[in-house]
């Protein structure tokens, strides 16, 4: 998983990469679970309104990112066909965090099913954790795109030794695959979050969406287009 975090500026086109990079993107678009972000973190950036993250300038399909107010972008990097953007809460660093918001954009592969993507994420979860579990929360279209929402729990991460829970949404765009993950570290042995807390975490994930500026079938949110002003 460390290969995701080479220090490269985000590409705006031609995220082709080598055959090995393409395979890596196909296999591991899933979890960042406690990857211990280290090395070349970007300077923190503040986005009070949110931002659009188009994977290609020529395309109108974008990932409309809306992290919690005052959260700061700590990573924006590309490896092969995959772009990874990471936000942390104020005062947190890549070496010291308890909550994390992660966005992934993968060029192509939108012909693969949601079930195939989920299978890949669960396989990595099982390899990464001493005990792992997953619960499907919802499978229904979001803004006209096929999407799935799932909670994944990791007990005893084999690298960090920590427990954590992730609420994850995968969206199959017409040109790319998009993912957003809300990751929360837990105290060892801590119970699964209550429904009320889980609802808040789901809301964090649902605040960001995939849209297309070229038409009305996948409308962009008013806060992105400025029509709410």
pLDDT of residue 195: 79
> What stretches of the chain adopt beta strand conformation (E)?
45-46, 51-54, 61-65, 72-79, 82-88, 99-107, 129-139, 147-157, 163-172, 176-186, 209-212
As its CATH architecture, domain 2-6+23-34+43-212 has 3-Layer(aba) Sandwich (3.40)
160 Cβ partners below 8 Å, 6+ apart?
34, 36
> Hey, where are the domains in the chain?
2-6+23-34+43-212
Q: Is the pLDDT of residue 155 over 80?
A: yes
Q: Is the pLDDT of residue 87 over 90?
A: yes
160 band by pLDDT with thresholds 50, 70 and 90: confident
pTM of this structure: 0.76
Spatial CA neighbour of 71 closest among 89, 49, 98, 85: 89
């Amino acid at each position: 998983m460390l290969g995701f975090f080479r220090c490269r500026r985000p590409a705006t086109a031609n995220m082709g990469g080598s055959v090995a990079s393409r395979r890596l993107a196909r296999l591991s678009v899933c979890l960042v679970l406690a990857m211990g972000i280290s090395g070349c973190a970007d300077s923190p950036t503040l986005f009070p309104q949110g931002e659009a993250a188009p994977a290609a300038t020529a395309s109108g399909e974008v990932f409309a990112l809306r992290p919690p107010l005052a959260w700061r972008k700590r990573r924006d990097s590309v490896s092969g066909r995959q772009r990874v953007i990471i936000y942390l809460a104020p005062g947190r660093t890549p070496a010291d965090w308890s909550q994390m918001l992660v966005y992934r954009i993968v060029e192509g592969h939108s012909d693969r099913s949601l079930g195939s993507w989920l299978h890949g994420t669960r396989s990595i979860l099982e390899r990464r954790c001493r005990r792992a579990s997953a619960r499907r929360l919802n499978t229904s279209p979001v803004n006209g795109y096929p999407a799935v929402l799932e909670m994944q729990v990791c007990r005893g991460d084999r690298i960090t030794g920590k427990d954590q829970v992730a609420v994850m949404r995968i969206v199959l765009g017409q040109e790319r695959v998009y993912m957003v993950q809300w990751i929360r570290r837990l105290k060892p042995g801590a119970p699964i979050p209550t429904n009320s807390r889980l609802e808040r975490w789901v809301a964090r994930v649902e605040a960001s969406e995939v849209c297309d500026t070229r038409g009305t079938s996948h409308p962009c949110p008013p806060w992105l287009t400025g029509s709410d002003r």
